[in-house]
Structure 1
Amino acid sequence: MSIVSPRERAKAERRDALLAAAARLYAERGFERVSLDDLGSAVGVSGPAVYRHFAGKQAVLAALLVDASAGLLDGARAVLDERADGPSSIPDARSALAALVAFHVAFAVENPDVIRVQSADLESLAETDRHTVRGLQRQYVELWVDVLEALHPDAPRPLLRTRAHAAFGLMNSTPHSARGSARETRALLATMAESALTAPA
């Protein structure tokens, strides 16, 4: 078991703080209108001090969006691994789908700024980083489609993919729709998403 030194812990905390500030500032102003000085100031350091954690503003955006996509993929895999037998029957598939919806809704409610940045500034990423994000997202979608296929065995995968993307649009509406309490928002979005995903084709 590795021991994290206080210096390493402080560095990790500062990196996390910079990413949280970047999500907020990029969401409010847009990526192009935020400088390294703005990011540093938001966490109480100088602009040049940001270089201790990131190669530049592009690297901050890449870390923000790649981390989010990788986190969603890893989280969804963990959700399904808890159901190791897989969605071999309709009850199992419904349970897996409900767990996936709850997981995604929790992310959407807790990270509306990241969702806004993803929507507005994905194209601002360098090509290799954009390719990485899209690859992670495609893998995430296919996990959902696998579960939906068990619920709708006669539906072609392209249509199930469309259904999944439509549900993501609903669940990712939190930058605009989350006006009540987090608990109420989660319950409403989860109910609506599950209804859309389980409705007959």
Structure 2
Amino acid sequence: MHINSQSRQRQIVRGAASLFRRRGYQQVSLKELATEVGITAPALYKHFSGKSEILHAALSWGLSEVLEAIAQANAAQVSFHESLADLTEAAIEHRDLWILIHRDLRNLDETAQAEVRRQLREIRLAIREILATEQPAASRDELDVRARAVIACMAAPAEYPQKSTGTALVRNIAAAAANVSTVGYRTDRPPRGRMPILQPFQPRVSRREQILASAADLFAQRGYDAVGVTDIGGAVGISGPSVYSHFETKIEILETLMRRAVGWIEFDRALVFAESSDPCEIFSLWVHRYAQMATSNRALFVIYTDEIPNLPDNERRWVERSHQDYFHSWVSLVGEVTALKDSEANAMASCALSVINDLSGSTKAHVHSDFVTILANIAVDLVVPVGS
């Protein structure tokens, strides 16, 4: 059967998006990509000049279709809640793109990055505009945060495994997006919300700690592959080869950082559960502490969520199991505080985590004194709306 050029390009882009998501952009060769979509490498070059152009196309086409879903909803003049199913379906259809934007956008040149960011901004502003017509009393900041949170909900199936598919998944994610589109700016903290947050690094203790802290910042800013041992050494005032007095390889530094992140997050979970036996109180406190950790130690948090594909297989599987265990704890607790079905609790938990993961990296998280508390309350209210 003859496949026209555009159809072949779409096939390549979809296969590439899936492969980039599973393996990591830097780990995928054009030869592997060609095999994934069932063509030869020379045939692939007939459609794209290289890997970065394929990544750009995957992001741009996916975002264009989400924008089109919003435009169709506007043309139909339906309410935001009525449009959520179509918008959510379009976002889930292109679920790979949300991970790639977050993790691999930096692999594009500045022009391509700017184009993708422009499309993302268009989506956010379009959602904000729809919300503004239905919530005229809301401030611009509130509307902007709600729009970002709606997008984060739609990206949740890309970040976390789901127990529903098809229309059921669309319905569950749309329900979370509906909740988060109306949440307010609450600045109240949970009763035990002032428990100290653990610090993952202690640079004053040793040179090894200095190296870990500096490597975390560099990996988070540039990505693991773009950082050399010389860069890490320079950041702590030593030569590159001197780093090897503390770590045998660069990958050992990443492995140590990942295990530090896992231990840091899991120990904090244990502290929260030791504070109370009431599921609602535990949930509120855990959400607040998770939001605080995601904001106050952003570099290690980014590594924990983004750099898994760069780990050796055994280490990667270990970290993935840790991710799964941590997420399942959230799902279980959400089920306790809401009495939702397992698949619905799974979707709600994934959306709450996705909202914190995404918005904790925003500018507001660093300039608004109460934003971490506001963000945590948004995630709590997403799962258990005020007054429910």
TM-score, reference length from structure 2:
0.44
Which residue pairs with 2:233 in the alignment? 40
Correspondence list, 1:18-33, <5 A: 18-33=211-226
Q: Which amino acid aligns with 1:19?
A: L
Instruction: Tell me the alpha carbon deviations over residues 35-94 of structure 1, each in whole angstroms, 9 at most, x when there is no partner.
Output: 1111011011121221222221111111112211221111111210222xx3xxxxx221
- Give 1:135's match in structure 2, choosing from 321, 331, 335: 321
- Give 2:338's match in structure 1, choosing from 152, 158, 161: 152
Preserved contact between residue 116 and residue 175 of structure 1 (Cα < 8 Å): no
Structure 1 window deviating more from structure 2 (56-65 vs 160-169): it is 160-169
Matched, 1:106 2:299: no
User: Higher Cα Rg: structure 1 or 2?
Assistant: 2
- Give 1:163's match in structure 2, choosing from 344, 348, 362: 348
Which residue pairs with 1:69 in the alignment? 262
Matched, 1:95 2:276: no
Preserved contact between residue 113 and residue 175 of structure 1 (Cα < 8 Å): no
Change in CA separation of 1:177 and 1:164 when aligned onto 2, cut-off 3 Å: farther
Deviation at 1:196, TM superposition (A): 0.9
Change in CA separation of 1:177 and 1:170 when aligned onto 2, cut-off 3 Å: farther
Deviation at 1:182, TM superposition (A): 6.2
Task: Measure the CA separation in 2 of the matches of 1:135 and 1:179.
Answer: 29
User: Superposition RMSD on alpha carbons, in Å?
Assistant: 2.4
Change in CA separation of 1:197 and 1:13 when aligned onto 2, cut-off 3 Å: farther
For structure 1, the 5+ residue unaligned runs are 1-8, 87-91
Task: Measure the CA separation in 2 of the matches of 1:61 and 1:178.
Answer: 29
Task: Measure the CA separation in 2 of the matches of 1:47 and 1:11.
Answer: 20
Task: Measure the CA separation in 2 of the matches of 1:51 and 1:12.
Answer: 18
SS of alignment partner, residue 176 of structure 1: coil
Which residue pairs with 1:5 in the alignment? none
Task: Measure the CA separation in 1 of the matches of 2:239 and 2:368.
Answer: 34
TM-score, reference length from structure 1:
0.82
Deviation at 1:178, TM superposition (A): 3.9
Structure 1 window deviating more from structure 2 (182-191 vs 38-47): it is 182-191
Change in CA separation of 1:13 and 1:183 when aligned onto 2, cut-off 3 Å: farther
Structure 1 window deviating more from structure 2 (183-192 vs 115-124): it is 115-124
Deviation at 1:97, TM superposition (A): 0.6
Q: Which amino acid aligns with 1:24?
A: D
Preserved contact between residue 275 and residue 282 of structure 2 (Cα < 8 Å): no
User: How many residues are aligned here?
Assistant: 185
Task: Measure the CA separation in 1 of the matches of 2:384 and 2:352.
Answer: 11
SS of alignment partner, residue 269 of structure 2: helix
Matched, 1:195 2:388: no
Preserved contact between residue 109 and residue 178 of structure 1 (Cα < 8 Å): no
Task: Measure the CA separation in 1 of the matches of 2:362 and 2:294.
Answer: 11
Task: Measure the CA separation in 2 of the matches of 1:165 and 1:177.
Answer: 23
For structure 2, the 5+ residue unaligned runs are 1-201
Q: Which amino acid aligns with 1:82?
A: E
Change in CA separation of 1:74 and 1:29 when aligned onto 2, cut-off 3 Å: same
Q: Which amino acid aligns with 1:70?
A: G
Instruction: Specify which structure has the bigger relative contact order, considering alpha-carbon pairs within 8 angstroms and separated by 6 or more residues.
Output: 1
Q: Which amino acid aligns with 1:140?
A: Y
Task: Measure the CA separation in 2 of the matches of 1:179 and 1:146.
Answer: 28
